[in-house]
Amino acid sequence: MPKFCPTCGNSSDKIAFLGNFCMNCAKERFNKSLDITAEVLLCKKCGKIKSGKGQSYEEISGKSLESAISQHFRRYNCHLIDYTDKTARLDISDETEHGKLSVEHEVEIEFKRKMCDMC
Ligand SMILES: [Zn+2]
Ligand SMILES: [Zn+2]
């Protein structure tokens, strides 16, 4: 007996399922549950960002930004795909009881300007 997705009606004959939902809907639900903004502390004097808890400030780079934004999605695995000065595109994955779910997710970066400890 195929399963049918309660949201879109897709059948498990045609598409992979994660629990009760088809993969498309499972991803969409996961995506909607994620924050769409991420606050990042930026030093207004030296322009470095706080890359993680209790760590020092670092130059803006893919690595430091990934680390800073990951703080907002601590329950999941989070990788930065690319970024601009306003947005970041991430690959976020979760190990659910039904298997691995991973989505591409875009967040708006909210830079919060303050002074770092060095300045
Ligand atoms: Zn569906
Ligand atoms: Zn500074």
Nearest-ligand number for the alpha carbon of 116: 2
In a domain, 71, yes or no: yes
CA angle 44/119/56 to nearest 5° reads: 90
Cα of 117 to ligand 2 centre, how many Å?
A: 7
| Segments forming the whole domain that contains residue 78 | 17-114
3 lies in a domain? no
Q: Could you say which ligand is closest to the alpha carbon of residue 22?
A: 1
Q: Please report the pLDDT score of residue 54 as a whole number.
A: 76
Tell me the C-alpha distance between 6 and 93, whole Å: 23
The 8 Å CB, 24+ separation contacts for 9-15 are none
Q: Does residue 12 sit within a domain?
A: no
pLDDT in tens, 59-111: 999 999 999 999 999 999 999 999 999 999 999 999 999 999 999 999 999 99
Distance (angstroms) between ligand 2 centre and the Cα of 87 equals 22
- Letter string b/e over residues 73-90, b meaning 16 or more CB atoms within 10 A of that residue's CB: beebebebeebeeeebeb
What's the total number of domains in the chain? 1
pLDDT of residue 52: 84
Which residues line ion ligand 1, judged by CB < 5 Å? 5, 7-8, 10, 22, 25
Question: Would 110 be classed as within a structural domain?
Answer: yes
pTM of the model: 0.87
Tokens representing 24 are 């498309």
